[in-house]
């Protein structure tokens, strides 16, 4: 049976990095709803025009539209044996849509939650600095540049994203935790939640993910 691996984690938890590593290991496509929306909005189709209209008005795409996007994308041949979802589902309705899709495709849904403490996430996000020229990323706490506020590679100034200040980060993390709590409970109660300590080194997190997804452990709820 193929797998649908759902990656969940707060901003800064590292789920994007782990999703890419898992995609390489399993040979599954990594599917980001944000990327799908950007691609679909460029298409001259009824759905593409609808998405463009929503984006132009600043409105969120509905659960039904997101569900249709996932159906279209996962019907492609590269998803036959499995795929990794990053950014979907985020609500209970979306989770129920995914359950229906998994039954149709005869795939097992495994939700992987990369767990990082609120304090560590604050350091990762509020300490993040990006080179204004090459895009290299630093962190004033864990990976500072050799010279303050200058990129080691090209000497260009480093910048902080406007939403990476401590107050904004706190707001983002609180909103994320509140919005995903029902989803976490839903998968936890179904016995398919895999929780990984995301504060370990990247290679250790990756090795543990591979272990639990490949084994029968992926059917239980635990903090590793």
Tell me how far apart the alpha carbons of residues 13 and 177 are, in angstroms, rounded to a whole number.
12
* Token pair belonging to 204: 């250790």
Which of 211, 213, 217, 219 minimizes the C-alpha distance to 84? 213
Tell me how far apart the alpha carbons of residues 99 and 221 are, in angstroms, rounded to a whole number.
18
Q: What's the first-to-final CA gap in the chain, in angstroms?
A: 25
Q: Is 216 exposed, middle or buried (0-12, 13-18, 19+ CB in 10 A)?
A: exposed
- Interaxial angle between packed helices 92-105 and 166-189, expressed in degrees from 0 to 180 and rounded to the nearest 10: 50
Which of the residues 107, 113, 124, 128 is marked catalytic?
A: 128
Instruction: Tell me if residue 128 is catalytic.
Output: yes
Which of the residues 15, 73, 107, 192 is marked catalytic?
A: 15
Tell me how far apart the alpha carbons of residues 125 and 168 are, in angstroms, rounded to a whole number.
10
Instruction: Tell me if residue 124 is catalytic.
Output: no
* 128 and 117 Cβ atoms separated by less than 8 Å: no
Which of the residues 38, 143, 161, 223 is marked catalytic?
A: 161
Instruction: Tell me if residue 223 is catalytic.
Output: no
Which of the residues 52, 93, 172, 200 is marked catalytic?
A: 172
Which of the residues 90, 93, 150, 200 is marked catalytic?
A: 90
Instruction: Tell me if residue 90 is catalytic.
Output: yes
Instruction: Tell me if residue 161 is catalytic.
Output: yes
- Interaxial angle between packed helices 33-41 and 46-57, expressed in degrees from 0 to 180 and rounded to the nearest 10: 110
Tell me how far apart the alpha carbons of residues 215 and 217 are, in angstroms, rounded to a whole number.
5
Tell me how far apart the alpha carbons of residues 46 and 39 are, in angstroms, rounded to a whole number.
14
Catalytic residues: 15, 90, 128, 161, 172
């Amino acid at each position: 049976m193929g797998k649908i691996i759902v990656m969940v984690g707060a901003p800064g938890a590292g789920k994007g990095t782990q999703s890419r590593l898992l995609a390489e290991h399993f040979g599954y496509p990594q599917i980001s709803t944000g990327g799908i929306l950007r691609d679909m909005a460029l298409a001259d189709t009824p759905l593409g025009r609808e998405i463009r209209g929503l984006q132009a008005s600043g409105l969120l795409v509905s659960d039904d539209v997101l569900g249709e996007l996932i159906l279209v994308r996962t019907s492609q041949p590269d998803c036959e044996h499995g795929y990794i979802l990053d950014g979907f589902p985020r609500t209970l309705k979306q989770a129920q849509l995914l359950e229906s899709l998994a039954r149709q495709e005869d795939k097992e849904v495994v939700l992987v939650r990369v767990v990082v403490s609120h304090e560590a996430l604050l350091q990762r996000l509020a300490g993040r600095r990006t080179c204004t020229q090459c895009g290299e990323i630093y962190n004033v706490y864990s990976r500072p540049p050799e010279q303050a506020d200058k990129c080691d590679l090209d000497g260009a100034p480093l910048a902080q994203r406007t939403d990476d200040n401590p107050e904004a980060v706190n707001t983002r993390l609180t909103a994320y935790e509140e919005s995903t709590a029902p989803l976490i409970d839903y998968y936890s109660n179904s016995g398919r939640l895999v929780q990984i300590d995301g504060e370990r080194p990247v290679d250790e997190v990756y090795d543990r993910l591979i272990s639990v997804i490949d084994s029968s452990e992926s059917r239980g709820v635990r903090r590793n």
